[in-house]
Amino acid sequence: MSAIRVPIVEKIFDANDQIAHQNKQLMAQNHVYAINIMASPGAGKTSFILQTIKHLQSEFKIGVIEGDTAAVTIDADKVAAAGMPAVQINTGGECHLDASMISNALPQLPLDELDLVIVENVGNLICPAAFDLGTTINLLVASVPEGDDKPYKYPNIYRGLNVLVINKTDLKPYVQFDMDYFTRGVQLLNPGLTTFPVSCRTGEGIAPWIEWLKAEILASRQG
């Protein structure tokens, strides 16, 4: 069984990577910067997305793709209420989005009118790390209440990141979270990783993230 399984798995990843490349090309042709946002459940992905929209919507046109394991539209409704076009993907119980799902969702967005597409992946620290979606960057929202051991327990998702956001920093006085220990684990896996400590509740730390993202979007247009 194992001798058959390995080639099948390789074919799945090869097919995904091919579609991811097509997604990347499509968004590049439309001058769209895209972010794959990953996190564990409850880390604050949607809150972070809404903060990002709030601070960028006066300068950039933004679309959102929401991934959920069930046919619920809670997060997509929040994004739509903020005035952004949103596409809901029901994974049918799958614990991650893949490139094919994104390929089907992209035509439902007005790509030629957008500057930024934000993909909210399914809440999971394992499966999403394995599937390239074709986005410009991969971003993880970690949160203080999750604990400081997550880089040591879930190394793969930290290795593939371009940006790390540490959310809920306002809770540090109330929970056991050793920032130095957490940071050492991250640096072992992804040295020099761009990191933003933030609190989506208070807004602390959001400004540096927004300035960084603005510069990235503008630079991508020139490239």
The string of pLDDT tens digits covering residues 6-49 is 566 667 778 999 999 999 999 999 999 999 999 999 999 999 99
Identity of the amino acid at 2:
S
Q: How far apart are CA 129 and CA 109, in angstroms?
A: 24
User: Could you give the C-alpha distances from 204 to 11, 118, 120, 201, in angstroms and in order?
Assistant: 44, 21, 22, 8
Q: Which residues contact 68 (CB under 8 A, 6 or more apart)?
A: 75, 88, 89, 90, 91, 122
Question: What's the pLDDT score for residue 1?
Answer: 44
Q: Looking at domain 2-222, which of 3.20.20.10, 1.10.10.60, 3.40.50.300, 3.30.460.40 is its CATH number?
A: 3.40.50.300
Closest-CA residue to 116 (of 192, 167, 55): 55
pTM: 0.90
Say yes or no to pLDDT of 168 above 90. yes
pLDDT digit string (tens) for 100-150?
A: 999 999 999 999 999 999 999 999 999 999 899 999 999 999 999 999 999
Mean pLDDT of the 205-215 span:
98
